[in-house]
Amino acid sequence: MNTLKIDLEILKEWMFDSLGYVEEKNCDALILGGFSGSVIELLGRFMHLHPIREYSNCFSDFLEKYLPKYFPFKNILYKILRCEGAHAVLAQSGVSLTCAENMKTLHLKGHYDPKTNKKSLIIYSPEFMNDLKVAVENFFSDVKKSPDLEEKCQETFIKIYNDGQKIIDQEIREGRFNIEYRGEMTRG
């Protein structure tokens, strides 16, 4: 039996603190996109409705259950938040993540700029941030009520952790990474 276990309250606290940090730093849309996409995918993976490597399905599952008003945009959100947000500085998917107050009324609406002949979906970052916080809270509330969901979270965490350890071990074997013991890690 594997004794590795994640404290889900600490994970929830870390997510809220990180979302709050992004919000506090004048809601940097690029950071919001990359981080929020990762949060959505991870919690979707915890739900275990698909093999955990079917990332876009995991992302969609979380949207459908916890962020349903965003579900109709699942494909474009996956592309911008998860793929482009996590891997690129300049997203090209046609989604505009913005903190501009004058764009608030266009949240989740299409926008056409006749000057550039470009179409885009507007996501007003502060509203998305608030909706994501509610979704994270609801997810962890469901985890507390469902031993099955908590077990799925634990299994997924262990899989992700072990995969990461394999990568680090490979890097050490190939001489690209050195480990120096600095004592036990503590929370604080």
Calculated CA dihedral for residues 93, 40, 54, 50, nearest 10 degrees: -140
Asked if 59 and 33 touch (Cβ cutoff 8 Å), the reply is no
> Does residue 77 come out as left (phi exceeding 0), alpha (psi in the -120 to 50 range) or beta?
alpha
| DSSP assignment of the chain | -------HHHHHHHHHHHHHHHHHTT--HHHHHHHHHHHHHHHHHHHTSS-TT-HHHHHHHHHHHH-GGGGGGHHHHIIIIIIIHHH-SS--SSEEEE--GGGGGGTTEEEEETTTTEEEEEEEHHHHHHHHHHHHHHHHHHHHH-HHHHHHHHHHHHHHHHHHHHHHHHHHHTTS------------
Report residue 39 CA to chain centroid gap: 2
CA distances 141 to 5, 8, 137, 138, 144, Å, are 18, 11, 6, 5, 5
At 75 the pLDDT is: 84
Q: Please state, in angstroms and rounded to a whole number, the distance separating the CA atoms of residues 50 and 36.
A: 20
- The tokens of 70 are what? 């965003």
Per-residue pLDDT of the chain (188 residues; tens, 9 = 90+): 455 566 777 777 777 777 776 666 655 566 666 778 878 888 888 887 766 567 788 889 999 999 999 998 888 788 777 666 544 433 455 666 777 777 788 888 877 767 767 777 777 878 888 898 899 999 999 999 999 988 888 888 888 777 777 777 777 777 766 666 665 655 44
- Residue 139's pLDDT is what? 92
Give the model's pLDDT for residue 104: 83
pLDDT at 88: 40
The whole model's pTM is what?
A: 0.66
Domain spans of the chain, in order of start: 8-99+125-173
pLDDT at 183: 59
pLDDT of residue 188: 45
